[in-house]
Amino acid sequence: MTPARPTIALSRRSLLALGAAGATLPTWLQAQDFPEAALRAAVDGPGRSPANRLRDGARHPFETLRFFGVLPQHHVIEIAPGGGWYTEILAPYLRERGRLLAAHYAADDAAEGRRKSRANFQAKLAATPALYDRVVLGTLPRGAAFTDLAVPGGVDAVLTFRNVHNWIEDGHLDDTLRAFHAVLKPGGMLGVVDHRASPGTTLERIKSSGYVTEALMQERAAAAGFTLHSRSEVNANLRDGHDHPNGVWSLPPTLRGGEVDRAKFLAIGESDRFTHRYVKV
């Protein structure tokens, strides 16, 4: 029996954005066999921490990974996994048929906080081998290349969540995108989620606020050899006006301003974010 076509709820804003991009819909929207049950099982899996589950309403992991079209047989590099929020979903989802490669900070990074972050992530993997024993831990790109993560023929997907603004600030966005292009197979996918700046925001304001314009992201991805395939509004937050005294860090979960306007920022919620699906050409 042919499986039923998944029911996809796209907002009017999302459809308009897709049309404006001149893109066809992502492959999974046209496919008859996207494994929704397997992805849902990973999102609802027992290995996820209660604190991480609480943020599903802001991060929309099921909808985001479905939009990207990540399949259980894919080889995927997760960029800067931090404490493993998405790792808790991707590792069981890819464990039997695919492979998850996690590109973290270098073990010898000059910053103590980054070294500790990697060590804590490594300890998390070691503590639950039934979930994480097949995760390959490596290092973020140095220059325009990965030094310790590679798959013969290239990986199927590179995924990055709320990291682009950091690379702009640190001055290596272009090199990092070129590294992603090099490690992907032809036709491979780059999935990007980041805090969305209002159109026309200056580069200096992008650096100070943590919000990135979609135009800048698309321009730099194109320069690295990617084509924007499609956009989604699944991570949009229309309550976020993008202009806060401490930039995006005014909002939860950071709430950098402490008690100042705390109720207002909690009411806004997490940041407005763009979600882009690029293809290596």
Q: What CATH code is carried by the domain that includes residue 217? A: 3.40.50.150
Instruction: State how far the Cα of 83 lies from the Cα of 80, in Å rounded to an integer.
Output: 9
Asked whether residue 140 is assigned to any structural domain, the reply reads yes
Q: How confident is the model at residue 23 (pLDDT cuts 50, 70, 90)?
A: very low
Asked whether residue 132 is assigned to any structural domain, the reply reads yes
Q: How confident is the model at residue 7 (pLDDT cuts 50, 70, 90)?
A: very low
Other C-beta atoms closer than 10 Å to the C-beta of 249 total: 18
Could you write out the DSSP letters of every residue in 75-108?
EEEEE--TTTTTHHHHHHHHTTTSEEEEEE--TT
The predicted-structure confidence for 210-264, as pLDDT tens digits, reads as follows 999 999 999 999 999 999 999 999 999 999 999 999 999 999 999 999 999 999 9
Instruction: State how far the Cα of 44 lies from the Cα of 89, in Å rounded to an integer.
Output: 8
Domain that holds residue 253: 12-280
Beta bridge partners of 231: 276
Which pLDDT belongs to residue 24?
Answer: 42
The predicted-structure confidence for 162-193, as pLDDT tens digits, reads as follows 999 999 999 999 999 999 999 999 999 999 99
Which pLDDT belongs to residue 12?
Answer: 34
pLDDT average, residue stretch 73-94: 97
Asked whether residue 3 is assigned to any structural domain, the reply reads no
120 has pLDDT over 70: yes
pLDDT average, residue stretch 88-116: 97
Q: Does the bond joining 26 to the residue before it have cis omega, within 30 degrees of 0?
A: no
Nearest CA-CA partner of 91 in 48, 56, 53: 48
Sign of CA dihedral 42, 44, 45, 50: positive
Asked whether residue 48 is assigned to any structural domain, the reply reads yes
What's the chain's average pLDDT?
Answer: 90
Asked whether residue 191 is assigned to any structural domain, the reply reads yes
Asked whether residue 246 is assigned to any structural domain, the reply reads yes
pLDDT average, residue stretch 36-57: 96
Asked whether residue 236 is assigned to any structural domain, the reply reads yes
| Half-sphere CA count of 222, side-chain side, radius 13 A | 8
Q: How confident is the model at residue 150 (pLDDT cuts 50, 70, 90)?
A: confident
84 has pLDDT over 70: yes
Beta bridge partners of 136: 101
- Count up the domains in the chain and report the number: 1
Asked whether residue 92 is assigned to any structural domain, the reply reads yes
Could you write out the DSSP letters of every residue in the chain?
-PPPPPP----HHHHHHHHHHT-PPPHHHH-S---HHHHHHHHT-TTS-HHHHTTHHHH-HHHHHHHHT--TT-EEEEE--TTTTTHHHHHHHHTTTSEEEEEE--TT-SSHHHHHHHHHHHHHHHH-HHHHTTPEEEE--BTTB-SS---TT-EEEEEEES-HHHHHHHT-HHHHHHHHHHHEEEEEEEEEEEEBPPTT--HHHHHHH--B-HHHHHHHHHHTTEEEEEEE-TT--TT--S--TTGGGGSTTT-TTTTTTHHHHHHH-SPPEEEEEEEE-
27 has pLDDT over 80: no
Do 256 and 246 meet the contact criterion of CB atoms below 8 Å apart?
Answer: yes
Stretch among 31-45, 138-152, 161-175, 223-237 having the lowest mean pLDDT = 31-45
